[in-house]
Each structure stands twice: as C-alpha cells, then as structure tokens.
Structure 1
C-alpha cells in the first residue's frame, strides 16, 4: 500500500504528531470511475452488460422481479450503481460477500442531511445470471420518469483498489491530552492543506467518510460500518453515504442499511 500523502508532507513543526497519525492510518477500498458514455433517449446504447459492475446505465433485473420503487411514494427509484462483489479486494474487518451483485437505488424524494433507511434501496443478488433471456432488457417503462426527473445518464466502469489514509476528522476527537495544543494547530494547517492538495477520496468502501456537510455529527453518530461513500463523478455536488451493521454485512443482509444524502 502507498504511504498516505499526508505523512509524506507533514511539516517539521508537527513531527510530534507523526506517531499518533501513523496509529490512525485506516485501510479502505477506493473506487475509481472510467467514463463510458451516456444513455441515449431510447436507452439503446449502454456499452456495458446488464450484469457488469457499473455506475449508471441499465441495471441487472431478473424477469419476474419488480423494478424498485420508493416505499412511501410508489415512484420508481433511480438506479445509481451496481458492484460485482467478486471484483472488490478483500479487506480485514470488512466482510463484504465474495460473490454476487450489489445494487444501489435512490428515491428522487430524498431529505438532505438525514440518516435513515427509506430514501434508498440496496439489493443483493447472491447469484448472477449472464443469460439475457432471463433478464429484463427493455427498460422503456422507465423513460417518462427518467427524463421528467432527470435521472443520472452518464455511464462509468469502476476500478477497485485497496488504499490507506488518515481520516483526520475522526481521529482528531481521540487525540491525547498532551497533543491537544499541537493538534489544534495541525487542524488549522490541515484546513488549508486539504483543498490545496485535493486530499480526500470521492468514492470508497470501508474506512471513514469525507466530510462535505455542515452537520458532521450526524455521520459521527452513524452506527455500523461505512458500506459505501459515493460522490457521483458527473453530478459532483451529490454525496451519498451508506452504513451497515457489521453483523448484517456478515449475513449479506442489506435490508437495514442506513443512508445519508447531501448536495454541496
């Protein structure tokens, strides 16, 4: 793994913090997006297979299964992304299934900066069919909703890699008393360093979230593990966070995932 850049750039005046920062290095799974195009109005040009890992495009949907709808409004939900779990690197303490397809959908009626289970839907398929005759291929029934509500149209592949970072917003609260003063000075320095050096990961699984919100205490108090942090690569002001109980993740039970949305 690559040494977090923050440790390489640490100014001499903060050297006394190094051992504390090193002890708070956390692993995570980085998601890198590669643009493939965008859906035409007739939905005919998704370059990726229905069962492939992707952001946007057409989702994997077995015939006979209803398209996901908002439980409160009954409206169809927007497909965000799907992940073939076999492509995700293993990470100690992050018990994602080693196979199957994990999908994320979003309601278009999402309250901002509220942590809860309702606005999004996460669906897990333990087995993946690559036989198109068993899958829905005609999604014309989504057209009116898709263009009336301006669903995301861009399509991306995803590359996964394991990284390590120091999530300062979290470890700052556990700094020892003897380092409090230098920690406060470092915090002020970090506020300038972060935007200038583009520190931060826009999409990840596990680890801790980046804070882009004025109410970070909501995320501080979130229970469970960070399942996914998703900053849409085209609609870059949209941030979504998904949390799951560790025991539920081990059981591959995604029914109780908590989600949080904000637009910067």
Structure 2
C-alpha cells in the first residue's frame, strides 16, 4: 500500500492523525510466490534450479556440506525455503547480505504439527557455486523422512518487491506504536479501529503488509499475540504454507546479528490455525 494513498483516504475527522502516521510507515520486502507444481514422487525432480529463490522443492547443497539434521534427534529437517540475496532489493535498516543464499530448514512433522527440539536451521552460504558437478542433485535419501513426516511437496518460485505499511493493529497490540492521549481519544470517539477494519477489507488487507515478507511486522490474526509475545529482535521472515494456508512460520533476528550476517541466534515460531 502506498503511504500517500492511505493518508489521502483518511476521513476528515481523522485529519490530526495524518501528521502522526506519515512518519511511521515501515519499509519491508514482499515475497511473491509463483506455483511451479509438485515434486515428482518417482523421479525426485525439482523444476527449479538448485540455487534459485524458492519455497519447497530441494535446497542448494554443495557436496562438501551435510544436509541439516536436528542435533538432538538426528532427524533430517524439512527444507522450507531459500533466498538468493542478490535478488532482494535494499530497504533501510535491514542489512540483508547482498550475495549468497539464505536457507531456512525447520524440524516440522507436518502431520503431528510438532517441531523438533532444535526447531530450525538457518544456513547462509556466502558464495554460490554454479558447477552442478559439485552439488548434490539426488535427494532420494530424504524421501523416507519426507513421506513419514508429510513434508510439503509443492514448489514455488520467489520474487521480491519493496513495500511499506503501517502494521497498525499489530504494533498497537504489541505496544510498538503508542498514540498520544489526544489522538487515542479521537480514535475512540470516531471508531478508527472500525474504519481501519473496513478499509483493510476494501484494500485486500494491505495496511498490515503482505502476508509473505522479509522485515516489517507480522500480520495480526488468530493467536499471533500469544505466540509472538516473547519474540525478541526484528522480524526476519514471515511465511505461511501457501497450499493449505494453515501453517505459519516466523523468524526473528537481533539487528546487530543481522549486520554481522550471523544467523546462529535466530528465534523461530510456528503456528497452525
């Protein structure tokens, strides 16, 4: 959503809010998914190159690296997605690496809706080797875990686009955006929350940001305040399972760690609705 459009659409009674809100839009990066089909169960084929930005399918895996396992159980972890960092536009206060691959694996048993003790593995590969002879291309060794834990088999390519949003409801609910008392009184008197709810419906919910994103704030729905109440740092990634739309994943990173390109202390949260 464009900041100017939202501010222009504010009814006259909310005019005093414009000055307060215009400096509080937050930049973020939208992830746009394009359906590329399913993994073929017999041939174990992924339609996308191993180094592409994707959700689902098979990861980029040099033969010099082990496929991630939960350190406590030894179980293989589900490949969720990977981001080719060179394809991601730059936005303020979000120093994502400018090259390499950022990969997200989760220890999710889909059928049981349970995360493994380690919960996730995030791997940053600084240099991408395009020589396929040095990459693992046969992922048949993952099939037993894939079938037993019902890992996602659908595949989506990822594209990236900068955006901005207020994330008003989430920031208000979590105490990240506090209105001056006079403006809060104004909002209560003229039912700003009701107007905003109707506005979101008419504009596809874009006040709260795209549902697949890097940076910004999470979408506020269902049990999000309870699930993310203890989350520390800034939002790194929010995605949901685009096929069933019931599984949500959230990753938070300390801003200083992000500057150092250190993803070892990322916090992850999972929610099924």
TM-score, normalized by the shorter chain, greater than 0.5: yes
Stretch of structure 1 that moved more, 49-58 or 2-11: 2-11
Alignment of 1:63-82 (within 5 A): 63-82=63-82
Q: Secondary structure at the match of 2:228?
A: helix
Counterparts of 1:96 and 1:171 in 2: how far apart (Å)?
23
Question: Which residue pairs with 2:211 in the alignment?
Answer: 202
Runs of 5+ consecutive residues of structure 2 not aligned to the other structure? none
2:253 is aligned, of 239, 244, 251, to: 244
Count matched residues.
263
Task: Give the alignment's Cα RMSD to 1 decimal.
Answer: 2.5
Q: CA deviation at 1:134?
A: 0.7
Alignment of 1:1-264 (within 5 A): 2-3=2-3, 6-109=6-109, 118-172=118-172, 173=175, 174-184=178-188, 185-199=191-205, 200-216=209-225, 219=228, 221-264=230-273
Q: CA deviation at 1:231?
A: 1.8
Counterparts of 1:231 and 1:128 in 2: how far apart (Å)?
27
Q: CA deviation at 1:179?
A: 1.0
Counterparts of 1:233 and 1:5 in 2: how far apart (Å)?
28
1:64-103 deviation per Cα after TM superposition (whole angstroms, max 9, x unaligned): 3221112232211110100010100011111111101000
1:210-264 deviation per Cα after TM superposition (whole angstroms, max 9, x unaligned): 1224251553542212111112221312111101111111111111100111112
Counterparts of 2:270 and 2:201 in 1: how far apart (Å)?
22
Stretch of structure 1 that moved more, 224-233 or 10-19: 10-19
Q: CA deviation at 1:11?
A: 2.9
Q: CA deviation at 1:170?
A: 4.3
Mapped contact 1:100–1:128 kept (Cα < 8 A): yes
The two structures have a TM-score, normalised by structure 1, of: 0.90
Mapped contact 2:54–2:157 kept (Cα < 8 A): yes
Counterparts of 1:218 and 1:130 in 2: how far apart (Å)?
39
CA distance 1:4–1:227, shift in 2 (3 Å): farther
